[in-house]
Amino acid sequence: MPLGSKSSMSYPFYHMRSEAFWHLVPHKDCQDQPGLTVSSMVKLRQIYAGAKLDEKLFQSMCNPQAREQLRSILIETYFAPEIRLKLMEQGHLNFAAYRYSKKLLKVAERKELFEKPKEESDWQQRIRDQGFRRTIVILYKHRCALCGIRMLTPEGHTIVDAAHVKPWSESFDDRPTNGMALCKPYRCIKNMPKIYFI
C-alpha cells in the first residue's frame, strides 16, 4: 500500500479470491458477488463465513518438508533480502515455542520441576519465554487473574501477559501451576520491588 493509504485486513482476504489456491466461502444466506467492493472487516464478515485452501495445497502443507519449502519460496519471492533471514528465524522460533507450549500443557498437572539448564542460550530463552506466555494465556483464556479484564482482538492480540508466580531465576519452573496471566498494569506492579505473590 502506498504511504498515507488506509489498509484493512479485508483487502488481501477478499482480493486473493482471484488466486486459484484460495476460495471464499459465503454465508448460507449470501451469494458470492464478483466485482463487489469489500473494504472493511465488518462487510467481509457479513458476506463470508471464511475461506478454504485448495485441497491439493492443503495436503501438501500437511507435509513438513513441503511446508518448509513453500515458506522459503514465499519469503524469497515476496520479501526484501535484508529481512528474509529474520523472517526465517522468527518462523523457527515460533514453531519451537509452539512445541514447548504443547509440552507445558501436557505437564500442567505433574509435580515435576524443570531442571535448571546448565547454560541457556538467548535462542533457548526466547523459545521458553514465548512458549510459556502462549501456554498461560491459553489456560487463562486471555483473562487477567487479578482484575478479571479480558480483551482479545479479532487479530488475536490480547491485553494479558504471562508472569511466573515464583520467578524463573529462582524456581526454574515453567509449569503452568507456576504461572498466571496479568494485564499490563498488574504486570508492572508485580515487577516492583517488595511486592510478592505467595
Write out the E strands in 60-170: 160-164
Q: Which residues of the chain have pLDDT under 50?
A: 194-195, 198
pLDDT on residue 113 = 52
Q: What is the pLDDT of residue 1?
A: 52
Q: Alpha-carbon distance 143 to 159, whole Å?
A: 8
Per-domain residue ranges of the chain: 10-61, 81-190
What confidence score (pLDDT) does residue 130 get? 92
User: What is the pLDDT, as a whole number, of residue 198?
Assistant: 47
- The alpha carbon of 139 is separated from its chain's Cα centroid by a whole number of angstroms, namely 14
Q: Tell me the pTM.
A: 0.60
